[in-house]
Amino acid sequence: MNEQIKIAQFGLGPIGLESLKLAATKPWASIVGGVDLDPAKVGKDLGALAGVEALRGLPVCATVEDLLGRAQLDVVLHTTVSKFKDAFVQLEPLARRGVSVVSTCEQLIFPQLKERELAAKLDKMCQESGARIVGAGVNPGFVMDVLPLCLTGVSRQVRHIRIERVVNASTRRGPLQKKIGSGLPSGEFRRLFEAGHLGHAGLKESLALIAHSLGWSLEEITETGEAVLAERDIRTRFVEVKRGLTCGLHQHAEGKVKGQTVLVLDLKMYLEAPNPRDVIQIEGDPPLTVALEGGVAGDSATVGSLVNTARRIRQAPPGLRLPTELALPFWA
Ligand SMILES: NC(=O)c1ccc[n+]([C@@H]2O[C@H](COP(=O)([O-])OP(=O)(O)OC[C@H]3O[C@@H](n4cnc5c(N)ncnc54)[C@H](OP(=O)(O)O)[C@@H]3O)[C@@H](O)[C@H]2O)c1
């Protein structure tokens, strides 16, 4: 694969900037520009914004249409929003023009769960133009869906899967520390969680992706989310939390087949969480327990996943793809 892939970065927040910097180091990638809504970034020099000399002279555009008018694109790294409905309008012009996208949009890991019609619409556009669109990342995208599915590649039988992830959110970026509710009274956390304005996006989608891939037809997916309250005052680079206020969350999802719980995804993500880890338990033949001590470092791994997937995406058939429909992921 000698051809260089022309890449643009759509979304220049912490994840987008790190993805851009990593992509800029790859001999197979040629960066052509960036897109972001933020007026403080639009019109700036991309190299100056990212602190990468090699990217000097490249534009930061306010819209993807603007960038498409100035440069040819093969693949866009998309890192803006969590909900597929919000991402759809950003992805549509790319899908229409045959530009492929690897996105950290959490719901894109299994967009059919909440937006079946929109997903079918985007898929059709991609099939017609030759674009491929896929979700990638660490969670969703790896630890609580793709990795457990890979492990079942040696199973003769699978009866039950339980995945537990504990994240010390103090090690994560500012936007994540905010989206887990840091600093909020527990009542406010509950209200915003129930309205879908905070919490980890994509837990149900991870669960649905596993069930879909294993051919399990779930009767029901349940999800709960509780605030974890700080036992003492906590200060990080990004937030300050007084004792008794929310310092993160405990989110839990279950899926049932014939009244039996067959899938459990349990996520604890809070500031100063002790013993961070990822544990996957597969009950079946053979039984398997895999523990990743310390857990997969979320922000760094998301960036790795995004860039590694960008190299392989054009080998997949055109369409809105599930991560399980791409070749096995590996470092590129
Ligand atoms: N799957 C995973 O494992 C995983 C892991 C990490 C992050 N994520 C997701 O990846 C995304 C990026 O993370 P982050 O921390 O970098 O988020 P962030 O700080 O919110 O950055 C997103 C950037 O995109 C911009 N943006 C939003 N809508 C836009 C639009 N329509 N057009 C152009 N720019 C737009 C935002 O501008 P404004 O600031 O002006 O709104 C912001 O600069 C988030 O949705 C996050 O939840 C997923």
pLDDT tens column, 21-48:
999 999 999 999 999 999 999 999 999 9
Instruction: Fill in the amino acid letter for 299.
Output: D
pTM of the model: 0.96
Which two tokens mark 141?
Answer: 């995208």
Q: Is 13 in the pocket of ligand 1 (CB under 6 A)?
A: yes
Report pLDDT for 196.
92
| pLDDT the model gives residue 332 | 75
Taking the C-alpha atoms of residue 193 and residue 204, their distance in angstroms, rounded to an integer, is 14
Bin 11: left if φ > 0, else alpha if -120 < ψ < 50, else beta.
left
Please, what's the largest Cα pairwise distance for the chain?
A: 59
Q: What is the DSSP letter of 166?
A: E
Which residue owns the Cα nearest ligand 1 atom 13?
15
- Which pLDDT does position 315 carry in this prediction? 93
Cα 286 to averaged position of ligand 1 atoms, centre (Å): 40
Residue whose entry in the numeric block shows the structure tokens 């504990």: 166
The pLDDT, as a whole number, for residue 25 is 97
pLDDT of residue 3: 81
Segments in the chain below pLDDT 50? none
CA of 11 to the centre of ligand 1 (A): 6
Domains and CATH numbers, the chain: 5-137+301-325 (3.40.50.720), 146-295 (3.30.360)
pLDDT in tens, 193-229: 999 999 999 999 999 999 999 999 999 899 999 999 9
Quote the percentage of the chain above a pLDDT of 90: 97
Distance CA 302, CA 54 (A): 23
pLDDT score, position 152: 98
The predicted pLDDT at position 293 comes to 96
